[in-house]
Structures are given as C-alpha cells and as structure tokens.
Amino acid sequence: MNKKDKPSNKKLSFSRPVEKHFYELDQTYASSNKSLIAVFLTLAFFGVMGMIWMIPFPQFEFLVKMNAHTFLNWGSFFIAIVIYAYLKLAPTLSYAVLFCIGIMSFFIVQLEYVERDGGPAVLLVCSILALIGLVGLWLTAKPVQGQANRFLQLVGVGPVWLWSKVFEKLNWKY
C-alpha cells in the first residue's frame, strides 16, 4: 500500500455548523435523485405539519373574544420551533423555508374548509401524505455504498439542504 492509497486522517473544518450537515448529506445521497427527495420531503413535512396543526388546542376565552384563536394552534408552535432551529443553522435559507411553510399553512387551512364542508378529515389526508412522503423518502434516498444512512438528518435538515442547492444554482449566498 503506497502513500496515495492511505485514507486521509485529516479532519475537515467547516466555518458554520450547517456546512457539516450539508457535506454529510451531499456525501451520503450523492447518487440519489434530488428532485424525488424534494417531492417526498415536502409531502412528509406538509403531512407532519398538518397532523400537528390538527391537535386540539385549548380555547382561551380572551382569545375567542379578540377573534385571535383562529391561527393559534400546535402547528404555530411547531412552525416557530422549526424556523428558530433553521435560523440558528442558516438564516437566509430559513426565510426560504418559512415562505414554503406559509404556502403549506394556506393549504392546510383550505383542507380545514373542505373538511368543514363535508370533505375528508384533514388528519386523515395529512396522515396519508406524511406516510407517502416518509416511505417514498426512505425508498428514494439511498445512501452511497459505505456511507451511513442519515435518514433522520435528512428529515431534520433536509429542507434547508435542498434550498441550499437552489441557492447554489442561482449563485446566491446563504
């Protein structure tokens, strides 16, 4: 074995913690179809957010009087936590994710209106979408041979990772 064949023991250094996550995901899912990952990750995120949104929230009298109870639900707390976590990782990318969450919130409210008018339950629709998204993601996101499967990291950091790919294509700094 010559010097070239030896694995490098040098540690990679990253200027920001998010770059380590992006590097690991890039290495792990280099051969996976990023478009399919984006579709299934979006379905999974939407489904989970919709399920959390539909958990009954206590109706406080003062909020009902002010008509401020409409959008205060567990989904609001979920969104706040997710955006805070992404803000700590990559602020610019978190704004792109927040924009997508705003669109998803609109569609969840539309599903609530459909349910109110006799359509399928939002919880059922979102559960099916989350299941399709997670199973599709599991089947689509195949790690490169020899790489650890980073499925949980993909689900957690995946949205900002995918947005980083869009920003890179557009030559925008994040």
Predicted confidence (pLDDT) per residue in 98-128, tens digit: 999 999 999 999 999 999 999 999 999 999 9
The pLDDT of residue 60 is 66
Look up residue 42 and give its two tokens: 């979006």
Average pLDDT over all residues of the chain: 86
Please tell me the total number of residues recorded for the chain in this structure: 174
Task: Quote the distance between the C-alpha of residue 142 and its chain's center.
Answer: 18
The pLDDT confidence band at residue 9, using thresholds 50, 70 and 90, is very low
Alpha carbons 149 and 23: distance in angstroms, whole number: 14
pTM beyond cutoff 0.85: no
Average pLDDT over residues 21-40: 90
> Does residue 67 register a pLDDT over 60?
no
* Planar angle of CA 154, 158, 159, nearest 5 degrees: 160
Look up residue 75 and give its two tokens: 């989904």
Average pLDDT over residues 30-53: 94
